[in-house]
Amino acid sequence: MKNPRTLLRVSVIGTVLVALCCFTPILVILLGALGLAALTGYLDYVLLPALAFFTGLTLYAIWRKKQYDACCDNGSTKSRNPPMSDDKNRHIAVIGSGGAAMAAALKAAERGARITLIERDTFGGTCVNTGCVPSKIMIRAAHIAHLRTESSFDAGLSAQAPVVDRAKLLEQQQGQVEALRHAKYETILADNPAITVLRGEAHFVDARTLSVRTDDGREKVVTFDQAFIGTGASPAIPPVPGLAETPYWTSTTALASDTLPPRLAVIGASAVAVELAQAFARLGSQVTLLARSRLLSKEDLAVGDAIEVAFRREGIEVLKQTQVSRVDYLDNEFLLDTNAGTWQADQLLVATGRTPNTDLLNLVSLGVETVHGAIMVDAHLQTSVPGLYAAGDCTNQPQFVYVAAAGGSRAAINMTGGEATLDLGAMPAVIFTDPQVATVGLTKAEALKQGFSVATRVLDLENVPRALVNFDTAGFIKMVAERDSGRLLGVQAVAGEAGELIQTAVMALRARMTVQAIGDELFPYLTMGEGLKLCAQTFTQDIKQLSCCAG
């Protein structure tokens, strides 16, 4: 029996019944009534071994139940993550309240620890306050504005550019941000009796002590058994002469602005830069994007090229291989000196990456290993100092909130007596441009670098029925597979709503599926996800010769 509770019930019932037969005349009377009194002489040879058997079985079932209860949580087997042995005596300090820190605090509290959570600023960290949530709200508003101005159905649906009231859009945006922060952070922290919140700036005194300068100016000492660092990151500012003396925007200030600049220059070409560049352009700004190399240089070359084509089609000026040597601000105008000439703009957005928030933690004195401020963690999310853990944007992990949260929860398991690792081998990533960019696994270049012999296929969206009926065939789906086995190694997609199809590729990659197996699966017709099936089929056949919904 897999469930020891059932085994325990059966063994106890058996023990009781046999004991009744041994120590009362019930069985003797019953045998006599049935005319089998001659068998009573053999009862001792049967009942005593049976009693010993059921007694032993009961003891075994009790032991099994204790093991089961120690290794299970809400009925799910988690044998590698037993609750910590010292229960509520363990004290964990958590620095931060963003995705990583909240996940760590809640998981550690769930597993019996006492938590002191220290936050110097707004609860919720970057994602809900100044990153993912407000940016996606703005991008959605910009998408609606774009569709009202231009769509694939303009021949039958009249288009008219909307009047954009950025102040009202900002009010709607911030209302949602505040609602999410209150529901998902402030209320949860306030309602959890295992978590004590301390407002202030923390730094390490030693590997078991923090000093916190509280909001009222006092110093409070916090001792702990383990500590978790989830302090996130802030916009990185390049050392361009003159830039610091100008009123430039970062992504944080851009998302909080209630105005739309007539001319916007964007320095940067990674995810944040391209997302906000397109959003401002669609809301009415004339945007010039200055890329030091090319758009999305960390992605497959075809990905950046596809987004560049989309941007130029929308009137966004893209300057590649462009370095800014100086920035000035004169008469309410930005002047950017570059190797491609001088450029003017009414506002400048600097989106050149993010820097970990670790400089005030006093990590160097503890011997915590960092690289350019990023805390180096091992597979268990532990730093180079035993007992100190970290996850999220302040570490060397990819800067995605879902990676941060997953890292935080796994660190908490490890801090409370369990064992968990963070496997990023099938980590999805989405860039919310239009078309969207969604990726998972290895690019062809990465696979070759790792020694794989690879085969690749690229499926233009002209071959995807959903894209055809949308009259929107800009983009592609690309698959990278191991040549001999056909095992899927990676997927890169540029398509409308590509972010909604990539999780299917994640699951296929995690299951080590071959492209042949993916091509044999059933996918709903007229979905973008069907493009994965069609791309997989191109490894073995010419899909142009198939009917539109051929299996």
Domain boundaries of the chain, sorted by first residue: 4-77, 87-235+356-415, 243-352, 429-545
275 annotated ligand-binding residue = yes
**Nearest CA-CA partner of 453 in 464, 442, 462, 461:** 442
d(CA 499, CA 490) in angstroms, rounded, equals 15
Residue tagged 């990539």 (tokens):
502
User: What does the pLDDT average to over 405-416?
Assistant: 98
Domain 243-352 carries which CATH code? 3.50.50.60
List the alpha helices (DSSP H) in 166-248.
166-181, 187-191
Q: What are phi and psi of 459, to 5 degrees?
A: -110, 115
Query: Which residues have a Cβ under 8 Å from the Cβ of 430 and sit 6 or more positions away?
Result: 436, 437, 438, 498, 499, 502
Do the domains spanning 87-235+356-415 and 243-352 agree at the CATH topology level? Answer: yes
Please indicate if the annotation marks 268 as binding a ligand: yes
353 is in an annotated binding site: yes
**Is 271 annotated as ligand-binding?**
yes
Q: Is 393 annotated as a binding residue?
A: yes
Q: Is 272 annotated as a binding residue?
A: yes
Beta-carbon count within 10 A of 164 CB: 16
3-class DSSP assignment, residue 336: strand
Q: Give domain 87-235+356-415's CATH architecture.
A: 3-Layer(bba) Sandwich (3.50)
Token pair of 330, please?
A: 């004169």
Distance (Å, whole) CA 50 – CA 1: 20
In sequence order, the 6+-apart residues with CB closer than 8 A to the CB of 528 are 464, 466, 467, 495, 496, 497, 498, 500, 501
98/86 Cα distance (integer angstroms):
27
3-state secondary structure 372-433: CCEECCCCCCECCCCCEEECCCCECCCCCHHHHHHHHHHHHHHHCCCCCCCCCCCCCEEECC
C-alpha 415/C-alpha 413 separation (Å) is: 5
Average pLDDT over residues 451-478: 97
Q: What is the arrangement of strands in the sheet containing 341-345, beginning at the earlier edge strand?
A: 324-330, 333-338, 341-345
Q: How high is the pLDDT of residue 228? A: 99
Question: Interior CA angle at 437 toward 435 and 441, to 5°?
Answer: 155
Name the band, by pLDDT with cuts 50, 70 and 90, for residue 543.
confident
Helix count and strand count (H, E) for the chain:
18, 25
Phi, psi of 27 (to 5 degrees): -70, -35
Return the percentage of the chain with pLDDT > 70, whole number.
85
pLDDT tens sequence across 271-325: 999 999 999 999 999 999 999 999 999 999 999 999 999 999 999 999 999 999 9
d(CA 315, CA 345): 16
Question: Could you tell me the CA-to-CA distances from 113 to 92, 109, 196, 198 in Å, in that order?
Answer: 7, 5, 11, 17
pLDDT digits (tens, 9 = 90+) for 319-365: 999 999 999 999 999 999 999 999 999 999 999 999 999 999 999 99
299 among the known binding-site residues? Answer: no
> Would the annotation count 274 as a binding residue?
yes
Alpha carbon of 332 to those of 51, 228, 256, 327, 469: distances in Å? 94, 45, 20, 13, 47
User: Which of the four pLDDT bands, split at 50, 70 and 90, describes residue 52?
Assistant: confident
CA distance 203 to 392: 18
* Local structure of residue 92 (DSSP, 8 states): E
**Which CATH homologous superfamily contains domain 429-545?**
FAD/NAD-linked reductase, C-terminal dimerisation domain (3.30.390.30)
CA-to-CA distance for 409 and 403, rounded, in angstroms? 10
**The predicted structure's pLDDT at residue 71:** 42
159 is in an annotated binding site: no
Is the pLDDT at 11 greater than 70? The verdict is: no
Question: CB of 440 within 8 A of CB of 509?
Answer: yes
Predicted confidence band at 73 (pLDDT cuts at 50, 70, 90)? very low
- Express as a percent the part of the chain with pLDDT over 90: 81
Q: Is 369 annotated as a binding residue?
A: no
Q: How far apart are CA 83 and CA 79, in angstroms?
A: 10
The reply, when asked if residue 32 is annotated as ligand binding, is no
Closest residue by Cα to residue 230 from 397, 367, 390, 409: 390
Place 70 in a pLDDT band, splitting at 50, 70 and 90.
Answer: very low
Question: Nearest-CA neighbor of 137 among 171, 161, 165?
Answer: 171
